[in-house]
Structure 1
Amino acid sequence: MPSLEPLTGKAKTAIQIPEWAKIVAFDGAVRSGKTVGDLLYWIHYCLHGPQGLLLIGGRTERTVANNLIHPLIEWFGPKSIRYTRATGMCSIFGRECLIVGFNDAQAQTKIQGLTLAGALLDEAAVIPESAFTMLVSRLSIPGARLFLTCNPEGPEHWLKRKWLDRARLWVDKNGVEHHNDFNKALNLYRVTFVLEDNTWLVRHNPQYIEELKRQYTGLWYRRMIESEWVAAEGSVYPMWDPGKHVIDWHDLPQMSRILAVGCDYGTTNASTGIMLGLHANHDQYGRITGHDLYAIDEFRYDSRAGNPRITDGELSRRFRTWLNTPHLPYETALQPEWIFVDPAAASWKVQLAQDGIQNLGDGENNVSYGISKVANLLDTGKLHISSKCKGLIEEFPGYCWDPKASDEGIDKPIKQADHSLDGLRYAIASTETEWQPLLNM
C-alpha cells in the first residue's frame, strides 16, 4: 500500500459523493485507487456519520484485515486504529466497527437483527447475494450508507445487473457521467476505475503498472486491467499446449523448494495430489535470473477406474506412502512445505492430521481467482508440467466454462474431469505469496 498522499484525479472526484446516495460503489481494475478513496471517506464517515453500530465486511475476516484494516493502521498508527481479532472489532478514532466475513451461503445469519449506521464492504462481487441483500436491509438508521468496492465479474452477475446498472449516477471508466431515469434508478452512486486512475502509481512506479498488466491474461486482463464485466466462455485454459508446457520427468531441473502439495478429495470421484516445486534459473555466472514453477509429481486414486472405494484411513495410507517415494529424478532432502487440502474435505483433513501429516491447511478456494493464476503462469511460460502428472495433462484440454452458469453471471467450470486441476489450483493459489515476488512477472 503506498504512502498516504492527497487524492487526485478520479479518486478525488469519487469521494465528492452526492447527498442522496445511500450506496456508494467503486468498481474496476485492481490497484486502481478504489480502496484508497473508499478508506479515506470511511474515516470521514466514522468521524462525522450518524451514530450507531458500523460494520466492515468482505469475503473473509482475513481479507478484510489485509485489504482494509492494515492499510489504515499503516497510515494513521495503532493508537488511532485498533483491531482486536479475538473480538472481531476494530476501533477507528474511537468509533467501534464490527468485522464480518461473508464467506458462505449462511453468511447473512451473522448480521440478522443488527441495526447499522453504515457499512464498508470489500470484494462485494464475491460475497453471497443473500448476505448483500441482508446487509442493505440492516442500514436502517437515518443517513446510513453502504460503501463498496469490487472487481468486475460476468456481465450477468447479480451485483451488476440488480444494483450497479441501476445507479442514479455512474461515472464510467472514461470519466463520462451517465444518469438513469429517476423512477427506475436506485440511490446509488457508481464510479468505475481503470489502472491509470491510480495517480500515485503513475507518478512513482510506472514500471509496476506494466508488471501488473503482465500478471493477467485473456478474460482476467479484460476484467482486472480494462475494467470490463465480461463473460467466461469456452475453454478455461485456451493457452494450454502440451508441446510447450509438458517436460519429461527425467529432465526436471534442480528444485530450490517444494512449496506444497495441493489435494482434491473424492469419494466416488478421484482423489488427487499435485506437488509444486520452485526452480531458480541461473545465468552463465551462476547468478539467479528468475524462477519457474513445476508440477513435479501427481498422486491419484480413482475409484471409477476399476478401483474399489476405500476409507479415509486407507486413502491417507496410500497418500503417505506416495509422499515417501522419490518425486524427482535425483536425490534430494527437500520435502513439501505445506499440504493444502480441499476445504470441503474436513474428514480427510482430520484423518491426515491423526496420521501425522503436519503443515496441513485449507486450499485457497476462490475458483476464478485460482484459475486466473494458473492461466497467467501457463501463458507466460512460468509453469511446467512433469510427464508424471498424467491425470493433470489429460484434464487440461477439456476443461471448459459452464455456459449455463455464465448466463447467470457466475464463473463456474463444468464439474467433470477436474480433480488434478483442482489440486494444482490449490497448490498455486495457496502459495502465491511465496512465488509471486520471485517469478519476475
Structure 2
Amino acid sequence: MQLSSKQNEYILNATHRWNIKSGAVRSGKSFVDTAYMIPFRIRAVKGKPGLNVILGVSKESIERNVLQPMRELYTDKLIGTINNRNISHICGEEVYCLGAEKISQVAKIQGSSIKYCYGDEIAKWNKEVFQMLKSRLDKPYSCFDGSCNPEHPTHWLKEFLDNPDLDIYLQQYTIFDNPYLDPEFVKQLCKEYEGTIYYDRLILGLWKRAEGAIYKRFADNPEVFRCEIVDQIDQATEKKQFRKEDVVSIELAIDFGGNKSGHAFVARGYTDDYRDVIALASRRIKAEDESEDIDSNMLDKLFCDFIEEVIEKYAVFTKHGDYVEYCNAESVFWDNAETVLGNSIRNAVEKRYPWIAVKPAKKRAINDRIRCTTRLMGAGRFWMTEDCSSLQAAFTDAVWDKEKEKDERLDDGSTDIDSLDAFEYTIERDMKYLIQEVDDV
C-alpha cells in the first residue's frame, strides 16, 4: 500500500482534536483515512469509554465512500456492513454509521460521549449536526478525522476551519498532489471543469464564490456546440453530424412557468452508451397577451404538437398502418410542482402518443444538474441543433446569484430558468451514467 508524501504528512501531523483535509476530488484525501487513519484511531481508543462514529451525508454514501474501500483492503471479516441499529463492526469494535444531512438522523447519539468520529463530505452536512458533534467530543482523548471538498468562502465549515483559537490541523489538497492518478485522466478532468467554479474548487481545492456566467464555455462560443442530425454523414463537411439512427433515445420535458409566465419544452437525444447528449429542440411558450394565462387545453395541444415536430424531424420509427411498432422517442417528463397541469399533459400525450411513457420529473439537486451539464460541455459530449434557440439563450444568460451566500442560479425572471429546468429533467435520472463522478465529491 503506497501513500503519497501528502498522505504521509497527514499521518505525522494529525495529532489534534480536529484533523481535516480539504481540497480537490481524486487527490487522495479519503484514501489515507480508509487505508490507515480510521482503523488506527479505532484501535487506539479500544476499551475506553465513548462511542465510535462515522458520519456522512447518508448511510449509503458512508457505505460507498468509506466502508467499501476499507473492505477491499481489510476484507469483510474486519469491516462489516451497517445493520438495522446503524452499527458496523470495524476491527472488532462497534461503530455507529449515521447520515448527517438532517439533525433528526443523528438524534440517537445525542447525549452520548464520542471518543472517535470520522466525517465524510463534511461541507454537505447539516450545520446543526456539526454543532452537536462539537459538544459530544468531550473526552480528553476524543478526536475527529474528516475530509471535504470546498464550497463558497462564507460556508459555516470554512468559518470553523479559519478559527485560530481551535485545535485544528487542516491539510489542503489540489488534484496534482496525487501522484498515482493517470496523467491523461487529470488532463481530461481539468478540461471538463475549465472555466467553471468547479475548476477552482474541485481541481485547485479553493474555497471560491460562484460568480458570473454558469456555463461560461458555452456562453463564450455557442457555435462550438452546434450539430446536425442527418440521414447520411457528409464526409466533406466540418460540421458535427449525427445520423438519425445513431440517436438511440429521445426524451422530452416540459417545465411549467408561474403565473403569467412562459412554459418551456425541450427534447434531448442520446447516442449509444450515453456518449453524446444532444439538445434536439426547444420552445419557449408565452401568451401573446401577457395579461392572460395559457390554459391547460392550449398547453396540451402546443406540447403534443412539439412532440410531433420532434418525431417527424429527428425520430426513427416504424409503423404498420396507425400502429407504431418502434419509435426512439420514449419518454416525457413534466414539472412535478404542478400536478394538475402535469396530469393534463400526461392524459393528452398518452392519448396521442400511446407508446410514450409520461412521468413526473425527479427534480434532483439543481447544482448536481448544473455540474453534470458543465462537465458534459467540457468533455465535448454536449451538442445542440439549430432548433434550440430558446435553450441556447438560456445557457448563455444563466448566471449565479451574487446576492446569495450559497451557490444558487439567479431566478428573478431576467433569465430563462424554465428551459434549463426542462433540459435537466431529461438527463437527471441518468447523471450517474453520464458522469460517473457526479455524486463522488
TM-score by length of 1: 0.74
Q: Does 1:276 align with 2:268?
A: yes
| Residue matched to 2:321 | none
**Is the contact made by 1:61 and 1:99 (CA closer than 8 Å) also made in structure 2?**
yes
Q: Does 1:164 align with 2:156?
A: no
- Mapped to 2, the partners of 1:371 and 1:109 lie a distance apart of 29
| Residue matched to 2:24 | 29
| Residue matched to 2:314 | 329
- Mapped to 1, the partners of 2:87 and 2:263 lie a distance apart of 39
**Is the contact made by 1:27 and 1:191 (CA closer than 8 Å) also made in structure 2?**
yes
Number of equivalenced pairs: 394
Alignment equivalent of 1:243, drawn from 219, 223, 228: 223
Measured after TM superposition, the shift of residue 66 of structure 1 is 1.9
1:94-119 CA distance string (max 9 Å, x none): 3233333334xxx1232242423332
**Is the contact made by 1:213 and 1:221 (CA closer than 8 Å) also made in structure 2?**
yes
- Mapped to 2, the partners of 1:366 and 1:423 lie a distance apart of 12
SS of alignment partner, residue 404 of structure 1:
coil
- Mapped to 2, the partners of 1:426 and 1:370 lie a distance apart of 9
Q: Does 1:257 align with 2:248?
A: yes
**Is the contact made by 1:153 and 1:231 (CA closer than 8 Å) also made in structure 2?**
yes
Per the alignment, do residues 322 and 102 of structure 1 end up closer, same or farther by CA in structure 2, a change over 3 Å counting?
A: farther
Measured after TM superposition, the shift of residue 213 of structure 1 is 2.2
Alignment equivalent of 1:220, drawn from 182, 198, 210: 198
| Residue matched to 2:235 | none
- Mapped to 2, the partners of 1:101 and 1:302 lie a distance apart of 43
The CA RMSD over aligned residues, in Å, is: 3.8
Higher percent of residues as helix: 2
Per the alignment, do residues 70 and 260 of structure 1 end up closer, same or farther by CA in structure 2, a change over 3 Å counting?
A: farther
SS of alignment partner, residue 370 of structure 1:
helix
- Mapped to 1, the partners of 2:100 and 2:392 lie a distance apart of 35
Unmatched segments (≥5 aa) in structure 1? 167-183, 281-287
AA matched with 2:434: W
Measured after TM superposition, the shift of residue 300 of structure 1 is 6.4
Unmatched segments (≥5 aa) in structure 2? 231-240, 318-325, 351-356, 437-441
| Residue matched to 2:365 | 365
**Is the contact made by 1:259 and 1:431 (CA closer than 8 Å) also made in structure 2?**
no
| Residue matched to 1:208 | 185
- Mapped to 2, the partners of 1:83 and 1:317 lie a distance apart of 52
5 Å-filtered alignment, 1:386-405, equals 386-405=385-404
| Residue matched to 1:8 | 4
SS of alignment partner, residue 90 of structure 1:
strand
Computing the radius of gyration from Cα coordinates, the structure with the larger value is: 2
Structure 1 stretch displaced more, 147-156 or 88-97: 88-97
- Mapped to 2, the partners of 1:361 and 1:346 lie a distance apart of 11
| Residue matched to 1:376 | 375
Per the alignment, do residues 191 and 297 of structure 1 end up closer, same or farther by CA in structure 2, a change over 3 Å counting?
A: same
**Is the contact made by 1:264 and 1:271 (CA closer than 8 Å) also made in structure 2?**
yes
- Mapped to 1, the partners of 2:20 and 2:125 lie a distance apart of 15
**Is the contact made by 2:401 and 2:410 (CA closer than 8 Å) also made in structure 1?**
yes
| Residue matched to 1:47 | 43
TM-score by length of 2: 0.74
- Mapped to 2, the partners of 1:427 and 1:44 lie a distance apart of 45
Measured after TM superposition, the shift of residue 191 of structure 1 is 0.5
AA matched with 1:110: Q
Measured after TM superposition, the shift of residue 135 of structure 1 is 2.8
- Mapped to 2, the partners of 1:252 and 1:114 lie a distance apart of 61
Alignment equivalent of 2:63, drawn from 59, 62, 65: 65
AA matched with 1:257: V
Measured after TM superposition, the shift of residue 26 of structure 1 is 0.3
Per the alignment, do residues 358 and 9 of structure 1 end up closer, same or farther by CA in structure 2, a change over 3 Å counting?
A: farther
**Is the contact made by 2:316 and 2:328 (CA closer than 8 Å) also made in structure 1?**
no
AA matched with 1:216: Y
Measured after TM superposition, the shift of residue 301 of structure 1 is 6.4
Identity of aligned residues (%): 23
Measured after TM superposition, the shift of residue 293 of structure 1 is 1.5
